[in-house]
Amino acid sequence: MEKDKLSNLRNIGIAAHIDAGKTTTTERILFYTGKNFKLGEVHEGTATMDWMEEEQKRGITITSAATTCFWNDYQINVIDTPGHVDFTIEVERSLRVLDGAICVFCGVGGVEAQTETVWRQANKYKVPRICFVNKMDRMGADFIKVFNDIKDKLNKNIVAVQLPIGKEKNFEGMVDLIKMKAIITVVDDAKSGSEYEEREIPEDMLEEATLYREMLIEGIADKVDWFMEKYLSESAFSEEEIMSALREGTIKYGLMPVLCGSAFKNRGVQQLLDAVCDYLPSPLDIPPIKGINTKDDTATERKPTADEHLSALAFKIASDKHGDLTYLRIYSGTLTSGQRLYNPRTRKKELASRIYSMHADKREQLEAAIAGDIVAVVGFKDTGTGDTICSEDHPVILEKIEFPETVISMAIEPKTEVEKEKLAIVLAKLAKEDPTFKIHTDSETSQLIISGMGELHLEVLKNRMLSEYKVNANVGAPRVSYRETIQREAEIDEKFVKQTGGRGQYARVEIRLEPHMGEKPVVFEDKIKGGVITKPYIKSVEKGIMDAAKSGVSGGYPLVNIKVTLLDGDMHAVDSSEFAFYNVAGVALRKAVEKAKSVLLEPIMKIEVTVPENYLGDVLGDFNSRRAIVDEMVNDGDLRVIKGKVPLAETFGYSSVLRSVTQGRGTYTMEPCEYKPAPAKVYSNVT
């Protein structure tokens, strides 16, 4: 029974560029699977999965929401993810624990900026995908154009399994290229698109359908060996053979089926559900999860069975009035209510007091969950996002989730002393929920600084603090998170000597500082010979270097792309201490940076602006005033798409300006791209 359950289980995410119709697609899935009895609409603020006040107010998805539904004999665990780049971490941590994904594309816009980001994230975790070209009823929708766009920009191994019948307002259904039948939705408002008919393919589409079916078969044959053998023998294929080979190609060899429809007009969603069950993997189709056995630091793996040792990954923390909810993907073993578990990172025990199956912000209590399940647990105290949960007798650490660096910050302070403690509790709660939300105290001003992934990200968190948690606080204007680096190599020989009435303090270090591009922003190397400095003192030097690098020199910004080598030093048998070496290391680094000429780095954003042609001149004029560089401009029907790069510091308030300049018809997306040296004017203003 367990094997049957696992083989009929699908853990999928729905990801897309903002406004591609991702949440609407999710709402239709919930309706047709019987999870919802009423269609939720994003524009009305009634979408089930957008349950947060900020989501309903803005009409966008901010946090990933999980639900479970059933289609035919299959259980589908669905995670709806945000499309806005400021909340891309929600996509990252969701894709880490999913077995498959639906990538939704706008039938007009095709591959957009955030689409590429989502695609890279899915590639990183090797997630099999289905592509759904949505909004085929929209003016300017073009399936073939979007299909070729995906093929050229994202993946050459895509195959169309459907073609649209009609376009724009005349879109009425799809051609199924496997069955070679037309699928026409019955137009009846009372049935909400739940009924459809299979008909013969329209005569004027027969030639095109035959061509694309041949392309489908060739695409599968190119990846699946047994299918190729039969293809070369010129034998006819059954529907079952094509579907079986397409499933194998999708799971093992990177093939991606492309479907089409209009979620808003209730066309194509049931066929999309069929494709999820037919082509996306079950937990049994995924290789055993790999990890490290913490008892002996050896590689190990866990199979997706209920009788295996328990392993689960915490991929999301959500605050709740009854206590924090920790979302888990169970990779192996069985989790029972009331079970004591182990977190190998913290080396602490955790209690799973209650287990829930989630439906957005609603829940259903479970007694147990097994390998393959995605559930939420109440009772964990010290578990954070990315932590592994397992049994203490068989500890394992699974691959962690990596989080990007923040690029924007703002100051926040409580209005009264009474609010100070409340603010600290709320900030800690939000930081636990969101690993890309950082808090620190400025060493010079003693101000409390919050940092995030973008202007919208911080604005949403600020509004949650003020309205949801009722914190009475003053919030400053957003500030850019600059970085510092150096231009050239420098060596410094520095002493720390302090004589008091009793024992003195003595330490000497000689360091070399040089530019260095590596995985880590700061690299430390020990080249001490002959034991002139002992190991504990070398550790203190390294810590002093790393701590000093965090606060920089010129403007107090973190140092990046540097290497510090400890060349020589000296210690005193009585007066030397870890404190002395820690201090001298920090002083030496600061002097070395000054000698090596520090450079201020500013974050550069990749930006994509879409505007009607008659507003192009005004938008470009404003674009140039922001130190932006245009990489390319492309036509998209009556619209123009400007792609380029712009310093983050120049983008504050851009949404309001663009709205004003284009009378509300312009849209844009941004994502972090790189750090580059800032001009002298910027340097003088911020240091």
Q: What is the pLDDT of residues 4-14, one digit of tens each?
A: 678 999 999 88
DSSP lists the bridge partners of residue 257 as 159
If you search the block for the tokens 């009378």, which residue do you land on?
663
Mean predicted confidence (pLDDT) in 466-480: 80
Of all residues in the chain, the percent with pLDDT exceeding 70 is: 88
Side-chain half-sphere exposure of 671, counting CA atoms within 13 A: 18
For 143-156, write each residue's pLDDT tens digit.
Answer: 999 999 999 989 88
573 burial class (0-12, 13-18, 19+ CB within 10 angstroms)? exposed
Q: What's the confidence (pLDDT) of residue 317?
A: 79
Residue 206 contacts by C-beta under 8 Å, 6 or more apart in sequence? none
Mean predicted confidence (pLDDT) in 193-214: 90
- Comparison of pLDDT for 516 and 5, the residue scoring more: 516
User: Can you tell me the distance from the alpha carbon of 542 to that of 533, in angstroms, rounded to the nearest whole number?
Assistant: 12
pLDDT score of 1 more than 70:
no
For 56-105, write each residue's pLDDT tens digit.
Answer: 444 444 455 678 889 998 999 988 665 455 556 666 767 788 899 999 99
User: Can you tell me the distance from the alpha carbon of 323 to that of 328, in angstroms, rounded to the nearest whole number?
Assistant: 16
Q: What's the confidence (pLDDT) of residue 401?
A: 67
pLDDT score of 554 more than 60:
yes
Across the chain, mean pLDDT equals 84
User: Can you tell me the distance from the alpha carbon of 45 to that of 293, in angstroms, rounded to the nearest whole number?
Assistant: 47
Which residue from 196, 136, 211 is spatially nearest to 169, judged by alpha carbons? 136
Q: What band does 502 get if pLDDT is binned at 50, 70 and 90?
A: low
| Count of helices and strands (H, E) across the chain | 17, 38
Mean predicted confidence (pLDDT) in 251-266: 94
Phi, psi of 185, deg, nearest 5: -75, 135
pLDDT score of 527 more than 70:
yes
User: Can you tell me the distance from the alpha carbon of 143 to that of 165, in angstroms, rounded to the nearest whole number?
Assistant: 10
Q: What's the confidence (pLDDT) of residue 501?
A: 60
DSSP lists the bridge partners of residue 181 as 176
pTM over 0.75: no
Q: What's the confidence (pLDDT) of residue 59?
A: 44
Could you tell me where the DSSP H helices lie in 527-630? 535-551, 578-595, 616-625
Of all residues in the chain, the percent with pLDDT exceeding 90 is: 44
Q: What's the confidence (pLDDT) of residue 425?
A: 85
Q: What band does 477 get if pLDDT is binned at 50, 70 and 90?
A: confident
User: Can you tell me the distance from the alpha carbon of 514 to that of 508, in angstroms, rounded to the nearest whole number?
Assistant: 20
Highest mean pLDDT among 44-48, 172-176, 362-366, 645-649: 172-176
CB 618 within 8 Å of CB 665: no
Q: What's the confidence (pLDDT) of residue 51?
A: 38
